């Protein structure tokens, strides 16, 4: 199968410039032995197995790894989607069948996954390593999501906030807030990328030497309270007022900085 990127990055990208004369700042690849800049064709992969002892690894070496996943995607299991921690799910790619011979098994897998409530967990080779992936159906196309291995997800134990007590009215208030903000889909003008739009306006104003756009005045809320604690306060007050009680909602605990540990190198997520 062939993989095609399923997402696009529409963010505005910046480069580095020398502010005095706006000359572009670039990173040069210098050989530390010959002290000269190298062309891309002169650069390859290598593994340092001992100090100053390096073995070169070519793209051909990687494509001929003695693994069943080196040249194909190998389905390892079928599991319910809800059994997978979303933290382990990464970028998505559309998969297309590799030629007419693969069209039938591709279509069969699409139909089988589409008629079930499961997704496929698969192994495949990508960028010099074996990876784990999640395969699901979107329309009539297979989608492969890169997945992190279990040991690549850090434990949140050190980030837990201090223990707090919640009463039933506070919990019911949170559920009421969720109900009031529930929607059938994520389409809508309120979920567009307003940061990129605002940044584009700033760039356009500076390009034309015009005054920078000002932040619009915040309109008074019209019925819907978006602040979580304010919404909870309102919900709890209504619940307790019906029983003639005083209502109070305590502030949610702020995030605490994880304690630093010594003698142990932090792992990347």
Give the DSSP per-residue string, 6-35: -----SPP---EETTTTEEP----EETTTT
Q: Residue 251's pLDDT band (boundaries 50, 70, 90)?
A: very low
**What local confidence, expressed as pLDDT, does residue 252 receive?**
43
Q: Residue 203's pLDDT band (boundaries 50, 70, 90)?
A: confident
Position with higher pLDDT, 127 vs 58: 58
Residue 137 · residue 114 · CB < 8 Å:
yes
234, pLDDT greater than 80: no
pTM of the model: 0.55
Domains of the chain: 74-152 (2.40.290.10), 161-180+226-253 (no CATH)
Residue 211 · residue 205 · CB < 8 Å:
yes
| 48, β-bridge pairs | 54
CB proximity list for 129: less than 8 A, separation 6 or greater: none
**What local confidence, expressed as pLDDT, does residue 165 receive?**
85
**What local confidence, expressed as pLDDT, does residue 157 receive?**
81
Considering only CA atoms, give the Rg of the chain: 27
**What local confidence, expressed as pLDDT, does residue 176 receive?**
84
**What local confidence, expressed as pLDDT, does residue 184 receive?**
83
Rounded distance between C-alpha atoms, residue 109 and residue 117, angstroms:
13
Position with higher pLDDT, 251 vs 138: 138
262, pLDDT greater than 50: no
Most confident of 54-68, 69-83, 106-120, 174-188: 106-120
Residue 48 has which token pair?
Answer: 């340092």
Per the prediction, the chain carries an average pLDDT of 77
Question: Which residue in the block uniquely carries the two structure tokens 């040069």?
Answer: 28
Question: How confident is the model over 13-46, as pLDDT tens digits?
Answer: 888 999 999 999 998 999 999 999 999 999 998 9
């Amino acid at each position: 199968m062939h993989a095609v990127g399923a997402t696009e990055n529409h963010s505005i990208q910046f480069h580095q410039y020398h502010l005095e004369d706006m000359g572009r700042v670039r990173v040069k690849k210098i050989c530390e032995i010959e002290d000269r800049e190298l062309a891309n064709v002169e650069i390859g992969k290598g593994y340092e197995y001992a100090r100053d002892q390096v073995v070169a690894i070519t793209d051909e070496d990687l494509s001929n790894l003695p693994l069943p996943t080196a040249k194909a995607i190998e389905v390892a299991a079928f599991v319910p989607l809800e059994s997978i921690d979303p933290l382990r799910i990464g970028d998505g790619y559309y998969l297309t069948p590799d030629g007419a011979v693969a069209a039938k098994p591709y279509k069969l897998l699409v139909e089988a996954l589409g008629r079930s409530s499961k997704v496929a967990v698969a192994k495949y080779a990508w960028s010099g390593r074996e990876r784990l992936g999640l395969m699901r159906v979107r329309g009539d196309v297979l989608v492969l999501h890169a997945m992190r291995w279990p040991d690549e997800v850090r434990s949140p134990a050190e980030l837990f906030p201090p223990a707090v007590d919640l009463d039933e009215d506070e919990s019911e208030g949170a559920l009421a807030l969720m109900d009031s903000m529930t929607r059938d889909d994520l389409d809508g003008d309120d979920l567009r990328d307003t940061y990129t739009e605002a940044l584009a306006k700033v760039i356009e104003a500076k390009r034309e030497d015009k005054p920078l756009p000002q932040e619009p005045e915040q309109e008074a809320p019209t019925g819907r309270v978006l602040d979580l604690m304010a919404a909870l306060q309102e919900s709890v007050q209504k619940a307790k007022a019906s029983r003639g009680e005083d209502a109070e909602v305590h502030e949610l605990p702020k995030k605490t900085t994880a304690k630093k540990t010594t003698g142990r190198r932090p792992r990347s997520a």
